[in-house]
Amino acid sequence: MVATCGIGRAQNYVIDQRTSDTLTKYLHMSELPMVTAEFSASPGGSKQLVLTGFVATQFGRNDAERIATGYLNDPSVNMVDQILLDPHVEDLRPPAGSAATASGSQSQNSPDQLWNRTMQGVYKNGGQTPAGSGPMLP
């Protein structure tokens, strides 16, 4: 007796770079500087949004999903949330009203700089979170 099983093929999604970049910038302007979006569609019409990055709280993660969903305004999009929770992300935020906040994207606290510092910390810790912060996986 031979058993057979159907193997589901992964859909071939094509990344929409313009939408991905625009939504990522929108998330950054919405005080989620370490969250990125990748929007893609399959030839069959399926759409997918992958959110990645870091936030300090579950509220931030939910907010990213809410903002992205509202931006796309398309309930048929399959959302894949890969945002990691790390409470230390909050420590990277400049104090309100500080010179770093007012100086814009050239500051050390620009979204790109924050992302780079966080990723350096992740690699420095061997992909693990700093002691006491709990698991990074959702």
- In tens digits, the chain (138 residues) has pLDDT values of 444 444 444 568 899 999 999 999 999 999 999 999 999 999 999 999 999 999 999 999 999 999 999 999 999 999 999 999 988 877 776 666 655 444 444 555 666 666 666 666 655 555 544 444 444 444
Read off the pTM. Answer: 0.63
Domain ranges across the chain: 14-124
Q: Give the contacts of 30 (CB within 8 A, at least 6 positions apart).
A: 63, 67
Q: Which of 38, 94, 29 is nearest to 67 (CA)?
A: 29
The H or E element containing residue 54 is strand 47-55
CA angle, residues 124, 127, 130, in degrees to nearest 5: 70
Measured between alpha carbons, how far is residue 31 from residues 34, 40, 119 in Å? 9, 24, 18
What CATH code is assigned to 14-124? 3.30.300
